[in-house]
Amino acid sequence: MSAPADIPDLPAQRGNEFRDLWAGAVGAGRVGTEVRLAGWVNRRRDHGGLVFIDLRDRTGVVQLVFDPDDSGAAFALGHELRSEDVISVRGTVVERSADTVNPEIATGAWEVRVAAAARLAAAATPPFQIEGRGRNETGEEARLRYRYLDLRREPMREAIELRARIVRAMREQLDGEGFIEIETPVLTRSTPEGARDFLVPSRLQQGSFYALPQSPQLFKQLLMVAGFERYYQIARCFRDEDLRADRQPDFTQLDLEMSFVDEEDVIEANERLLRHVLAVAGIEVELPIPRIAHADALARYGTDRPDVRFGMELRDLGGALAETGFRVFRAAIDGDGVVKGINAGRRELPRSELDGLIAEAQELGAKGLVWAFREGDGWRSPTAKFLSDVELAGVNAELGAEEGDLLLIVADSAAVANRVLGTLRTRLAGRWGEIPPGSHGFCWIVDWPLLEWDEAEGGWAPLHHPFTAFAGELDEGDPAAARARAYDIVWNGSEIGGGSIRIGDPEAQERVLALLGIDAAEAEARFGFLLEALRYGAPPHGGIAYGLDRICALASGSDSIRDVIAFPKTASGGDPLTGAPAPVDERQLRELGISARAAKPR
């Protein structure tokens, strides 16, 4: 007899002394049979002459009945059991009477009358409640400190299981398309993905350090030179960055690379992959996924990670305001700036909330924010008096404003206007319920610039990484004009993956490195092994890497990647469970030939 669809049969164990059935598999087919179950006491209720215990294992919960008429010894133990004790029972599956059926749980129409029971381990009182589906309101520090208890909670278990199914689907799809899974080293040399490296001192070569990989980028390219043609890996990556909500110092990528392809092939293979993988989370990806040029994404959404589930697009008002005498707009237009706006839809907002929006825009870096409600042919707005009727009508037309619509306008540099309006756009859509619940929006961002000017470093920096191929000719005299053969994939406003066609020609690679300020000697020292490999016959190749944690968080509807990582770190990079990072013995440091400067007080 087999278990319900997604619960695999338990393999026969020697003697089956602990259990022979998953708790979640108790069902109609088992009525009248004797079963053994094992797990944790989810909840215990004492009803005078009877003790009811909800037994929980990985597959679900089932009610046990301890009745002195069935077994005095088991009943006595039932009295003593406490939440989270580990038990094993033997008993008979019976149907519950109609009035005691519990529709909340899958096994709710049955229960197990216990004939024998054993406590395998007693549990201390947990620091927070484990049973139930509620949010764990305990602080995150405590959840991570007792992560093994937090993981017992049903929503957490489901998220981790979903992650496993997603990874399995990735392997299924890629194996099916002829990809080979290959591991690459964790102790390696620096891979330039633009973050700080984690370093590991070498004991055998004192004074030298391994770097933990920021990605397997260089190795996967070497695997293409090696002729594997299609590679993938569920890869651990390490980036020593200041942490943000959706970042972890160690995180997981689905990394892949293909030979004899152009961007079209990579994009199509990945659309099939996404479609297959997200189906396991019940999400249907419509193909083809729309593509948006990088410049258009910035112009229309103010960001290269646009959430395309709703409109409220940014519009350039420079045309409508070309002749304006309004000082604020004039200054932006005459300077190097822009005047851009969004139509936030029909709203009634009190003055205090409008002031709040101005403050929000200023926090985001804008000098100010103009608000206006379309009223008749003009505006209701403190700014209306500074604009002519023609200008008001022009702006209304550009923003598609209808009566009562709220218009928000920023005059600033393009970068600031895009950032401010792009951020307000997504925040307000969320706040005002403009995002259809349960909807999903995907897009590719294509046609990227190859380089951007890095103000802080005073040099050109790659938008992706230095191995990204450029489109057409590379003009060293005009680095800003160079286009990259790169593509990012965005889901509901989160970048979930990015990649490119790579430079296959060593001379072209050296030219790009030179533009980045890496001269031949430094290139040789840092990437000599790659440049050398490219001289031995590199096939045209390209690939992509996905943030697995982010994909799983989005697929499980969680807003934090920590909810889909079994043992994540806190926002400050620590692990409250193990206490990592931690000071080490002086002797260990001596062996490594290094000494620590005075540690920061903790």
Pick one of 479, 499, 504, 568: the residue that binds ligand ASP (CB under 6 A).
499
Q: Which stretch binds ligand ASP (CB under 6 A): 9-17, 99-107, 493-501, 580-588?
A: 493-501
Query: x/- string (CB under 6 A) for ligand ASP, residues 444-483?
Result: ----------------------------------------
Pick one of 173, 184, 500, 556: the residue that binds ligand ASP (CB under 6 A).
500
What number of other Cβ atoms are within 10 A of residue 199's Cβ? 13
**Of the two residues 78 and 543, which places its CB atom closer to ligand ASP in the complex?**
543
Rounded (to 5) percent helix, strand, coil in the chain: 30, 25, 45
**Of the two residues 193 and 229, which places its CB atom closer to ligand ASP in the complex?**
193
Name the one residue in this structure whose structure tokens are 């990985």: 58
**Of the two residues 421 and 489, which places its CB atom closer to ligand ASP in the complex?**
489
- From the list 448, 449, 461, 451, the residue with the least C-alpha distance to 488 is 448
What's the one-letter identity of residue 465?
A: H
**Of the two residues 418 and 500, which places its CB atom closer to ligand ASP in the complex?**
500
Least gap, CB of 167 to ligand ASP (angstroms): 18
User: Per CB under 6 A, does 342 bind ligand ASP?
Assistant: no
Q: Which 180-219 residues touch ligand ASP, going by CB under 6 A? A: 193, 215, 217
**Of the two residues 42 and 191, which places its CB atom closer to ligand ASP in the complex?**
191
Q: What are 500's two structure tokens?
A: 């490119």
How far apart (Å, rounded) are the C-alpha atoms in residues 232 and 170? Answer: 10
- From the list 429, 449, 428, the residue with the least C-alpha distance to 297 is 449
Query: x/- string (CB under 6 A) for ligand ASP, residues 213-232?
Result: --x-x---------------
Q: Which 252-271 residues touch ligand ASP, going by CB under 6 A? A: none
Least gap, CB of 93 to ligand ASP (angstroms): 51
Pick one of 261, 289, 445, 544: the residue that binds ligand ASP (CB under 6 A).
544
User: How many residues belong to the site for ligand ASP (CB under 6 A)?
Assistant: 9
Q: Which stretch binds ligand ASP (CB under 6 A): 135-143, 243-251, 469-477, 540-548?
A: 540-548
Query: x/- string (CB under 6 A) for ligand ASP, residues 92-131?
Result: ----------------------------------------
**Three-state SS at 154:** helix
Q: Which stretch binds ligand ASP (CB under 6 A): 25-33, 152-160, 204-212, 543-551?
A: 543-551
Query: x/- string (CB under 6 A) for ligand ASP, residues 571-600?
Result: ------------------------------
CA distances from 587 to 198, 578, 591 (A): 22, 21, 6
Least gap, CB of 180 to ligand ASP (angstroms): 16
8 A C-beta contact, residue 423 and residue 369: no
What number of other Cβ atoms are within 10 A of residue 212's Cβ? 21
Q: Which stretch binds ligand ASP (CB under 6 A): 16-24, 173-181, 290-298, 541-549?
A: 541-549
DSSP 186: S
**Of the two residues 194 and 573, which places its CB atom closer to ligand ASP in the complex?**
194
Least gap, CB of 546 to ligand ASP (angstroms): 9
How far apart (Å, rounded) are the C-alpha atoms in residues 147 and 152? Answer: 9
DSSP letters spanning 68-121: TTT-HHHHHHHHH--TT-EEEEEEEEEEPPGGG--TTSTTTTEEEEEEEEEEEE
Least gap, CB of 246 to ligand ASP (angstroms): 15
The residue nearest ligand ASP at its CB is 215
Least gap, CB of 234 to ligand ASP (angstroms): 13
Angle, in degrees to the nearest 10, between helices 414-431 and 351-363? 130
Distance of CA 113 to the CA centre of its chain: 44
CA distances from 455 to 239, 475, 503 (A): 22, 21, 26
**Of the two residues 118 and 531, which places its CB atom closer to ligand ASP in the complex?**
531
Q: Which stretch binds ligand ASP (CB under 6 A): 86-94, 275-283, 475-483, 539-547?
A: 539-547
How far apart (Å, rounded) are the C-alpha atoms in residues 137 and 150? Answer: 11
Beta strands, E only, 413-563: 442-449, 451-454, 459-462, 470-471, 483-491, 494-501, 541-547
- From the list 180, 257, 167, 253, the residue with the least C-alpha distance to 213 is 253
**Three-state SS at 422:** helix
Pick one of 545, 553, 554, 555: the residue that binds ligand ASP (CB under 6 A).
545
Least gap, CB of 493 to ligand ASP (angstroms): 18
Footprint of ligand ASP on this chain (CB under 6 A)?
193, 215, 217, 498-500, 543-545
